[in-house]
Amino acid sequence: MLTLKQWQFCLEEMDRMFPNAHCELVHQNPFELTIATLLSAQCTDKLVNRVTKDLFQKYKTPADYLAVSLEELQEDIRSIGLYRNKAKNIQALSQRLLDVYDGEVPATREGLESLPGVGRKTANVVLSVAFGVPALAVDTHVERVAKRLGICRWKDSVLQVEETLMKKTPIDAWTKTHHQLIFFGRYHCKSQNPGCHACPLFSLCREGQKRFRKGLVKQDA
C-alpha cells in the first residue's frame, strides 16, 4: 500500500501531467450536468456529448422531458447503452424535480440521491462540478488507477475506494484529484494498454511492476 508521502508524489505528478483536467461532459447548468452524468453510466463521455448536443437543444427543462412520450425520448438517446432504462429514469427524475424541488436540481447529496437514476457517483459529480462542494466521485477510471497504484486494496468496493481517497487526499484537492485521476486513467493508464513504459509513477505502481516482471513492458531510458 502507498504511504501518504508516496500518494502525495502521485498527486503532484498527475497535476504536472494534467494541470487542466476537467469535467468533459458538455453542459450549461446543473440540470444538464445531471442528465449527462446519468447518461454516462457504462458509456463514454464522447458519445454522451454527441447525443446531448441535440438533446439539450430539444429539452431545456424538466417539463420538456415530460412533454414527450417515453418512446420519443428513448429514440432521442437510442445510441447510448441502456437507453430504455435511462429514458425512464430521466422522466421520473424530471417529475420529482417538479414535484419536490420546484424544477431545480438540489445542491445536497441527500436531495440528489433521491432522484431516480442518480447514485452516489452522479451525485458526487454534480455536487463538485455544478455546486463547488468538495467530493471525489469514483468511476471506472478512478477505481482502476487507485487499485493499480495501490492506494487501496484490489478487493475494495467503489465506496471503500472513495473513502480511502478522501481520507488520504486533502479536502480542498478532492475535485481536482477526481478529474486528474480520470484523465490519468483515460489518456495514460488505460485499461488494456497502460502507458507503463513512460510513466512517472512506474516505480510505485504494483500493476506496472507486475507487468515488468512478466516482461510485458520495458521502461523508456
CB atoms within 10 A of CB 27: 19
Query: For residue 149, which of 20, 21, 8, 23 has the smallest C-alpha distance?
Result: 8
- The answer to whether residues 180 and 137 touch, using CB atoms and an 8 Å cutoff, is no
CB 162 within 8 A of CB 136: yes
Place of cell 483515460: 186
Assess whether 15 carries a catalytic annotation.
no
Is 139 designated active site? yes
| Residue whose C-alpha cell is 494534467 | 18
Catalytic residue, chosen from 45, 76, 86, 121, is: 121
Active-site residue among 58, 139, 172, 176?
A: 139
Which of 146, 118, 116, 142 is CA-nearest to residue 130?
Answer: 118
Q: Which residues are catalytically annotated? A: 121, 139
